[in-house]
Structure 1
């Protein structure tokens, strides 16, 4: 469905604008709408009626498209069970220090989400995949976000730690579309993602907004469905978690022109570079320090 493509491209646009590069994003979409014969504006996907925002743009990097978007590939991606010849751009190269945003959208029901209307992933399969990620130390925290009918049913089976989850509708409720494109006669975007995008468009990389404010992004009078939130697996108070912890990437850099002395030995895993003069050339040895302590 066109609106599902617009949904995911809207979130993709937001995280890129807030500083996350394509090298740290894995985008899975059917990728058949921009050049579909019914699309009167080729190579464009708009998520609003006045066509002010083309979310397809000119710099979209799709990692899995068309027939590659399968339940098997999605689960293999999460659990790092991809074939050894898989390009790095199609791998989830995270570790125990990584915060991960997982956004899903499509047609769904009680306990399942469809992939391209041909197969479906169940809530139990998804929960088990996330547990494998935790056991393999593939994440520090996850923000799980899903826009589909009865969306909350997809996070009910979660049992792994450090997961904050948000869904566009509760069990027994439908998630509704927002508005129609009269040129092609289909809905453009879903209500929940529309209001989420409107919120994210106001966020800047140095924003002080927190996840608690984002969890309230679509009240029932706007979404019509009831947005579901699950926080019991999450170790932090969402009100104290910057929204950029999941939707942005800020790397503070300190510039200095003062020469620094680097010790020539490794002590307590603190020294990362050792330089020696060998045959009139500098030879550098690098030591890698764990990003997060192992527990």
Structure 2
């Protein structure tokens, strides 16, 4: 881990902040806003994550938060992707406007890693020197910080396109460290991922001025939405588009965090939107985190028309895309090719399931214990050290977790084994035996 070198707050503000006209933009009382937006995936079928992130940038940019205090992490492989029918343009809803134009791309491709995210969030400028834009969240004791993360998730982790996974303990330790070092007055976190509630449940204290909302509870999927036939992919995620479309139309100078949470919770009827941390922060107005240009009623955006969300659970997105393509296919040859892709996807999923079952069988003491491990889910992860070690070994030796959602759905078995005190070495040895086969190596390379 890079050595953390502490700089004074005043020097960091000089490096990354710029003055604003107070008549145009109202800062939080006696402080300023900082924003970090992260899309943790790549690939065309994950289009929606980077589209969400770009839309989030447009909101805070429109609302006056300067680029000097906004950090965006995204792989940036969509705008010029060969599959993009509108090169240079990314949209976040059917027939939507371009959300890609003007987005600051501070960290792209292999720079989008969990360690870089933690360094940026905590203002570790030394660690980010020579990487991307070098910008960090150089916040101080009077400042407000807004964090928006969008990607795949599993119990206690969210994925990144490079450099591994972000574990809940590492994220919450970073937030608590920031609080102790007076690097914020208030911090709000909006997380979109499957089982995203597990990133904060029983971990985020209620007394450190931190408020988090998540797309799902600790045990369920989040949902993709807005399938686009021209692009043959999903354009957004239900929770994300709901909070952003709300921010687009409300007067954020009077609209509170709790009002936004409640309307997003009500309209996200596909999963359970959750809140954690200091719930008293719900009385704060949204503009204290997302900014506001104080629009007059004439300038205020019109409400979005109601469009069918066409929502599907995130793990089902690859198959749902193929099903849409099959329905729209125009020739027998094209249909045959799509059916073959669907069969291959089902075969790969079966391989993942079988591989995990073999690992459990080898690592546990009895068939009864193995059945219990596979067929139940623990509601609370406590053995974080064990879990972190086995997840990393699984990702390194069996299946990539960075861009594919399906292997993530099986990580609950490692939660179960860790909570039942199955030794780490027994689990990693089982992985080496099962995943060392030619079949598993083949799987790791293509799934």
State the TM-score, normalized to the length of structure 1.
0.78
Q: Secondary structure at the match of 1:113?
A: strand
Indicate the residue corresponding to 2:199 in structure 1: 154
With over 3 angstroms needed to count, the CA separation of the structure-2 counterparts of 1:85 and 1:187, relative to structure 1, is closer
Question: In the alignment, does 2:289 pair up with 1:242?
Answer: no
Cross-structure match for 1:200: 247
1:12 partnered with 2:57: yes
Equivalent of 1:211 in 257, 269, 275 = 257
- Equivalent residue for 2:98? 54
Question: Which residue number corresponds to residue 73 of structure 1?
Answer: 116
- 1:2 deviates by 0.8
Q: Distance in 2 between matches of 1:151 and 1:85?
A: 27
Relative distance call for 1:141 and 1:227 in structure 2 (3 A) is same
Q: Aligned equivalents of 1:111 and 1:67: distance in 2?
A: 23
Out of 107, 126, 132, the position equivalent to 1:64 is 107
Which residue of 2 is the match for residue 93 of structure 1?
138
Match of 2:217 among 164, 167, 170: 170
**Quick one: structure 1 residues 119 and 103, their matched pair in 2 at CA, closer, same or farther if it must change by over 3 Å?**
same
Give unpaired runs (5+ residues) of structure 2.
1-45, 295-447
Alignment check: 8 A CA contact 2:197 2:214 kept: yes
The aligned counterpart of 1:282 is none
Q: Deviations over 1:53-99 (max 9, x none)?
A: 21102x21111111111111111112233426727751211101110
Over the aligned positions, Cα root-mean-square deviation in angstroms equals 2.1
Contact 2:112 2:162 in 1 (8 A): no
Shift of 1:132: 1.6
Number of residue-to-residue matches in the alignment: 245
For residues 112 and 52 of structure 2, what CA distance do their matches in structure 1 show?
16
How far does residue 118 in structure 1 lie from its aligned partner after superposition? 5.8
CA distance in 1, matches of 2:141, 2:274: 27
Q: Which has the higher helix share?
A: 2
Structure 2 residue aligned with 1:184:
231
Match of 2:425 in 1: none
Answer yes or no: is the 8 Å Cα contact 1:176–1:223 preserved in 2.
Answer: no
Comparing 241-250 and 131-140, the one that deviates more:
241-250
Distance 1:225 1:76 in 2: 31
**Structure-1 separation of matches of 2:272 and 2:105:** 31
Aligned position for 2:66: 21
Q: Which secondary structure does the structure 2 equivalent of 1:27 belong to? A: strand
Q: Whole-Å Cα distance in 1 between the matches of residues 265 and 222 of structure 2?
A: 13
**In 1, distance between residues paired with 2:263 and 2:120?**
29
Q: Secondary structure at the match of 1:11?
A: helix
Q: For the structure 1 residues 118 and 93, does the alpha-carbon distance in structure 2 shift closer, same or farther, using more than 3 Å as the test? A: closer
Q: Which residue of 2 aligns with 1:229?
A: 275
Offset of 1:137 from its aligned partner? 1.4
Q: Secondary structure at the match of 1:217?
A: helix
Equivalent residue for 1:140, pick from 170, 173, 185: 185
| Higher normalized strand content (fraction of residues) | 1
Q: Given the two structures, how large is their TM-score scaled by the length of structure 2? A: 0.52
Paired with 2:248 and 2:267, the residues of 1 have a C-alpha distance of: 21
Q: Secondary structure at the match of 1:127?
A: helix
**Contact persistence 1:23–1:89 (CA under 8 A):** no
Find the aligned partners of 2:161 and 2:81 in 1 and give their Cα distance.
16
Corresponding position of 1:270: none
